[in-house]
Structure formats: structure tokens, C-alpha cells
């Protein structure tokens, strides 16, 4: 099937929905968990006593990246903080969507086990969950580990796309957000998009307007 105007419109609508859901969720996590607020408030790390050791490392990563973006901006500190914060939210959100979409494309081509097509009911995850025997935490936590194992496996050949060592990989969608995004990706009327090689490129185009793509390159 040609990637025609109708297909592009369907994809644009899908991407807009996912971007909104992910951006809201990531903002909630940055402020509620990591003490980074849209209004410019940054809680000192010693106030985040509820964080685990791993989460504390993430909090440091996020602050370092936010500071880097602020230093590279222009205007007042308030303007630079707002631009840097928005960029951080969008980059984390895009990283999550891009990887889930890439898994869906790989799945359609038989390159990975069924993993996102049916969400937590996907055959690959059902086997993984059975073998883990509950040792990895809740069902959501187990599913996250499952997806991250796939990311790491694919990173051997597609490092830039699936490299989890980057700060943009540090915040993972919440359970509710992940379920909602997968529901959008797996709408029956969008099935044909996952067999098209152009899909991943159009997702990038629709998620990132020209000015944001320029900022990400810089």
C-alpha cells in the first residue's frame, strides 16, 4: 500500500495523541518524583529522601541534562529554563514513543517476538512473565523489564535508537500511560502502517516540528 495522504493523516493523528499522553505523564513524573517543576522550581537532591539509589542516579542525570540545555539557551533565566524543561520533556517522550513504534515495526516483520501488538497480552511477554515467576515485581514492572531486555538486544545493532544509557531513557512511561499509548498504536485502522518502511520517519516528522528538530540536533 502506498503511504498516501490518508495514511499520513492517520499517522499524524496517532502521533499527536501519543505525544500529548507521554508529555503529560513525563511532566508528572519529573515534578512528582524527581523534583523538577515546570515553573522553575528544582528541589535539592537531599530533599528527595524517598528515592531509591537508582532513582537518585536518575535525578542527577536529569539535572545535569537540564542544566546543559539551560546553559545553551538564550534570554532570561526563566526563558531558558522553560525552553530547556520543555525540550527535556519532549525528548524523553519521543524516545519512549520511537522505541515502542520501532518494536511494533520489528514485530510486524518477525524480527522480535510478539511484544507490543497486544500489550501485556502479547505472546512473547506471556512466556517471559511465566518464566519470571513474579520475581521481577508487579505485572507492569515485569513488562517494563521485558521491553528493556528487547531494547538492549536490539541496541547491539541499532545502538542510537535503543541505547538505554542516555539521560532521555531514564524516565519510563507510567503503567497507565504505557497502556494508553499502546492502545493508540494498536488501533485496528492503523495496522497497515506497521508494514510500511516510511512509518518511523513520519513519526519523527510529526512528533518534532521543524524548530524542535533543530534544537534536538544542536
With a cut of 60, say whether residue 218 has pLDDT above it: no
Predicted model pTM: 0.92
High-pLDDT (> 70) share of the chain, %: 95
pLDDT band at 3 (very low <50, low <70, confident <90, very high): confident
Percent over 90 (pLDDT), the chain: 86
pLDDT tens, residue by residue, 140-197: 999 999 999 999 999 998 878 899 999 999 999 999 999 999 999 999 999 999 999 9
Query: In the predicted model, is pLDDT for residue 69 greater than 80?
Result: yes
pLDDT interval class at 211 (50, 70, 90)? low
**Looking at residues 8-35, what average pLDDT do you find?**
97
Residue 14 has pLDDT above 60, yes or no: yes
If DSSP states are collapsed to H, E and C, what string results for the chain?
Answer: CCCCHHHHHHHHHHHHHHHHHHHHHHHHHHHHCCCECCCCCECCHHHCCCCCHHHHHHHHHHHHHHHHHHHCCCCCHHHHHHHHHHHHHHHHHHHHHHHHHHHHHHHHCCCCCCCCCCHHHCHHHHHHHHHHCCCCCCHHHHHHHHHHHHHHHHHCCCHHHHCCCCHHHCCCCCHHHHHHHHHHHCCHHHHHHHHCCCHHHHHHHHHCCHHHHHHHHC
Averaged pLDDT for residues 126-145? 96
Amino acid at each position: 500500500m502506498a503511504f498516501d495522504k490518508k495514511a499520513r493523516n492517520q499517522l499524524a493523528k496517532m502521533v499527536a495523541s501519543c505525544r500529548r499522553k507521554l508529555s503529560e505523564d513525563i511532566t508528572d513524573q519529573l515534578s512528582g518524583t524527581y523534583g523538577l517543576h515546570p515553573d522553575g522550581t528544582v528541589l535539592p537532591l537531599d530533599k528527595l529522601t524517598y528515592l531509591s539509589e537508582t532513582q537518585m542516579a536518575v535525578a542527577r542525570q536529569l539535572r545535569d541534562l537540564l542544566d546543559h540545555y539551560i546553559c545553551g539557551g538564550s534570554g532570561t533565566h526563566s526563558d531558558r529554563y522553560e525552553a530547556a524543561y520543555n525540550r527535556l520533556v519532549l525528548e524523553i517522550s519521543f524516545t519512549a514513543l520511537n522505541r515502542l513504534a520501532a518494536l511494533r515495526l520489528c514485530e510486524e516483520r518477525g524480527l522480535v517476538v510478539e511484544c507490543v501488538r497486544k500489550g501485556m497480552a502479547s505472546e512473547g511477554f506471556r512466556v517471559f512473565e511465566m518464566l519470571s515467576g513474579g520475581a521481577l515485581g508487579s505485572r507492569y514492572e515485569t513488562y517494563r523489564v521485558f521491553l528493556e531486555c528487547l531494547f538492549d538486544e536490539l541496541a547491539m545493532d541499532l545502538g542510537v535508537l535503543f541505547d538505554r544509557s542516555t539521560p532521555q531513557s531514564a524516565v519510563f512511561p507510567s503503567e497507565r500511560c504505557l497502556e494508553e499509548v499502546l492502545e493508540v498504536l494498536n488501533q485496528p485502522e492503523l495496522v497497515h502502517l506497521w508494514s510500511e518502511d516510511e512509518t518511523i520517519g513520519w513519526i519523527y516528522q510529526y512528533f518534532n516540528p521543524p524548530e524542535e528538530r533543530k534544537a534536538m540536533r544542536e
